[in-house]
């Protein structure tokens, strides 16, 4: 595997408690969860981060989850929300391609890609409001709003951060938020 320099932890802050701006609150919660995901893989070797300790879920790895979160964010925020013409990271016949760890996937490379996606996401829906209809099209869900997309991303990221809690503890014993 390439680039075995461990990923460092990122400082994070809880979202504003006296929230008056819904869009800002959603971004702050998503950012909090994104940083939590990065911190779950921080400090691990590529082998630890790619470990699949659950026999019933051989693709459930810390590295794979970060790749998946990158694909989810690209699809929902940039492609559907912003209508940006970007390659879909889920494209192809393999429905689990985003969870598969390749030889070039290290904690560093997947976190770099994930963090780059955050910037694309913010640019994709810049100037939009939570009540705005998504600019991209999806045949099975019409009239999806930015509110729905960001709420979906928050729940998706939170669910996978929970998986990452368990995987991290199994990888090296580290526990915590």
CA-to-CA dists, residue 107 to 33, 52, 121, 147, angstroms? 17, 14, 21, 31
What pLDDT was estimated at residue 1? 44
Q: 71: helix, coil or strand?
A: helix
In a domain, 14, yes or no: no
CA atoms within 13 A on the CB side of 47: 1
Residue 167 in any domain: the answer is yes
* Residue 12 within a domain: no
Does 110 map to a domain?
A: yes
Distance CA(28)–CA(23), nearest Å, equals 9
What pTM was estimated for this model as a whole?
0.91
Looking at the domain assignment, is residue 17 inside a domain? no
Tell me the per-residue pLDDT of 67-107, one tens digit each, with 9 for 90 and over. 999 999 999 999 999 999 999 988 888 888 899 999 999 99
Does residue 27 sit in helix, strand or coil? helix
Q: Which domain CATH number covers 79?
A: 1.20.120.450
What whole-number distance in Å separates Cα of residue 93 and Cα of residue 168?
30
d(CA 71, CA 57): 19
Give the residue numbers spanning the domain of 153.
22-172
Number of independent structural domains in the chain: 1
pLDDT of residue 33 exceeding 70, the answer is yes
- Segment 42-48 mean pLDDT: 95
Does pLDDT of 13 surpass 90? no
């Amino acid at each position: 595997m390439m680039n075995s320099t461990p990923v460092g932890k990122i400082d994070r802050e809880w979202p504003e408690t006296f929230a008056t701006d819904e869009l800002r609150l959603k971004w702050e919660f998503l950012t909090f969860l994104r940083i939590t995901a990065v911190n779950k893989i921080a400090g691990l070797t590529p082998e630890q981060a790619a470990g699949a300790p659950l026999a019933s879920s051989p693709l459930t790895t810390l590295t794979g989850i970060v790749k998946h979160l990158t694909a989810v964010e690209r699809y929902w925020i940039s492609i559907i929300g912003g209508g940006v013409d970007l390659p879909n990271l889920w494209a192809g016949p393999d429905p689990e391609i985003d969870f598969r760890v390749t030889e070039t996937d290290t904690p560093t490379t997947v976190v770099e890609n994930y963090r780059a996606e955050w910037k694309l996401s913010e640019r994709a829906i810049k100037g939009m409001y939570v009540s705005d209809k998504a600019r991209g099209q999806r045949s099975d869900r019409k009239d999806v709003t930015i509110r729905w997309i960001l709420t979906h991303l928050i729940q998706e990221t939170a669910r996978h951060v929970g998986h990452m809690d368990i995987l991290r503890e199994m990888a090296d014993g580290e526990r915590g938020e």
